[in-house]
Structure 1
Amino acid sequence: MRHRAAAWELLGEAWPGWALRWAYDGQAELRGYLGLDLEPIQDRDWGRRVLPGPFVEPGDEELAHADPLVGVVTIGTERSYVIADHNDRPVAEGPALLDRLATAPEHGAREFAAESGVHIDLERRRVGWWLLDAQPEAYGMGRRWPGWTVEFWRDRWDEHVRAANGRFVPPPVRMPRSLAEVWEEARHHLSRAPRRSAAHGAH
């Protein structure tokens, strides 16, 4: 979360005049943009069994990391839960997620980052969700929640913050620091990348 805005800003500077989009639907979105057949991927993704992540206990050391691999689920403005973000996003479970939450450990209002999130409004039967990477069928989650209204917030976790009204509070993003960290990470990766010789690279 802390590097998202910085990464987009730097990508915009690297690609001036270009429209940049994140492929939230993974390969399917890329294939769709190229005009390729989506059926093989959609059938594979939609037909497979959803793999939910385990719940994270309050005080788990993962939550102390700057970039914890977790997803946060809030129910109205009363309850919040944290799920390990190892497999499918919690939203992919559909209403079965509510059954799992019945015995899950609750988290109070505290500050921590997340990789994805789901907000559930039981009274209005509405679901809003977001993520920072990709999830198969990202734009089709409404099919997993029959009778519910599902809104995909893409990477706009601020929508979740507003809806949860204190139950999900991510750390503030400090842009100067985030930009510096993204640059440092990029330099680190470039320094470790194998270099091609001038002779090998010439054509």
Structure 2
Amino acid sequence: MSGQRAEQYLIWYGWDIQWAYEGIADLAAYVGYPKEKVLTGFDDDLKDASLAPPEERDLVNTVASVKFSQNDLLLFPLYGGIDVYLMYGSDLIDKIDKSYGYRNISLDEWSADFPVGGFHIDIPARRLEFWHANDIPNISYELQSKWSGWEVIGHYSNYEAQCRSTTGLLQFQNVNQDQLLEALKASLLKESSNPLDAVAYFVKKEADAGRKVEINPHALRYDRYELPKNVREEILEYAIGN
């Protein structure tokens, strides 16, 4: 999440950046193409509605906060992204096991990686708020339908909204800007893999098993132009320096 913001700031400084939070649905809308033609239904791969934490702490990549009453707010460290929980709709509320909740959480104690999303359910106010850094096509429309009668508010990648809703009881990871910059450099300068290697591996595996494999010639095209590493380093250093 923080890396995404840093990359936008460094590489596109001075530009108005609009992130496609709903993925292909946003891209279709931008070019005037009906998004219904590029969308498929949501999978039924829903997570445990009790809001149980993952078995390993470092798997936490989602956080839920639930306000049951004026003085009763619990936090739930989760795994899987917001959609695999919120697609239950308001039926989720009756399935929550409060024994899994925490009065306060410092995510530094759970995972080194920043969450990909979070949601806040205010039961007395019948309000659902959510944010996400990963793209989830049509999520706003789907949640409006699943949470009928509720106020549904999407905050895009603004995780700070959940901090405000939890009045400081939820603490996100402290981000070291120098470490973040080094991680960003490594990500932007790493050599890309050749997808044809995966095709070749599959063909060999099938052939070794005695099966005949036919490949569409179009699957063997890989026309990507790769800038030399020294050129990419110059571009990155210029972006950081300006």
For 1:1-203, what aligned pairs fall within 5 Å after superposition? 1-13=1-13, 17=15, 19-42=16-39, 44-45=40-41, 48-54=42-48, 55-57=51-53, 60-61=55-56, 63-64=57-58, 68=59, 70-76=61-67, 78-85=73-80, 88-102=83-97, 105-112=100-107, 113-140=114-141, 141-187=143-189, 189=190, 191-193=191-193
Contact 1:81 1:106 survives alignment (8 Å): yes
Shift of 1:38: 1.8
Identity rate of aligned residues, in percent?
A: 19
Q: 1:176 to 1:31 in 2, by over 3 A?
A: same
Shift of 1:176: 2.9
Q: 1:99 to 1:11 in 2, by over 3 A?
A: farther
C-alpha root-mean-square deviation of aligned residues, in Å? 2.8
Following the alignment from structure 2 to structure 1, what is the Cα–Cα distance between the partners of residues 169 and 45? 25
What amino acid does structure 2 have at the position aligned with 1:25?
E
What amino acid does structure 2 have at the position aligned with 1:155?
S
Number of equivalent positions:
185
Structure with the larger RCO, 1 or 2 (CA within 8 Å, 6+ apart)? 1
Residue aligning to 2:217: none
SS of the aligned residue for 2:170 comes to: coil
Give unmatched runs, 5+ long, in structure 2.
108-113, 195-223, 228-242
Give unmatched runs, 5+ long, in structure 1.
199-203
SS of the aligned residue for 1:133 comes to: coil
Contact 1:51 1:88 survives alignment (8 Å): no
Shift of 1:104: 6.4
What amino acid does structure 2 have at the position aligned with 1:28?
A
Shift of 1:88: 3.0
What amino acid does structure 2 have at the position aligned with 1:29?
D
Q: 1:89 to 1:11 in 2, by over 3 A?
A: farther
Shift of 1:102: 3.4
TM-score by length of 1: 0.77
Following the alignment from structure 2 to structure 1, what is the Cα–Cα distance between the partners of residues 226 and 150? 57
Following the alignment from structure 2 to structure 1, what is the Cα–Cα distance between the partners of residues 4 and 169? 22
Contact 1:53 1:86 survives alignment (8 Å): no
Contact 1:78 1:167 survives alignment (8 Å): no
Following the alignment from structure 1 to structure 2, what is the Cα–Cα distance between the partners of residues 158 and 176? 21
Residue aligning to 2:209: none
Q: 1:31 to 1:166 in 2, by over 3 A?
A: same
Contact 1:79 1:108 survives alignment (8 Å): yes
**CA deviation digits over 1:23-68, x for unaligned, max 9?**
11111111111111222234x33xx45432244437x43x33xxx4
Q: 1:115 to 1:37 in 2, by over 3 A?
A: same
Contact 2:163 2:170 survives alignment (8 Å): yes
Following the alignment from structure 2 to structure 1, what is the Cα–Cα distance between the partners of residues 92 and 11? 36
What amino acid does structure 2 have at the position aligned with 1:178?
L
What amino acid does structure 2 have at the position aligned with 1:7?
E
Shift of 1:144: 1.6
Following the alignment from structure 2 to structure 1, what is the Cα–Cα distance between the partners of residues 127 and 118? 14
Contact 1:89 1:135 survives alignment (8 Å): no
Q: 1:6 to 1:82 in 2, by over 3 A?
A: same
Q: 1:139 to 1:196 in 2, by over 3 A?
A: closer
Shift of 1:120: 0.8
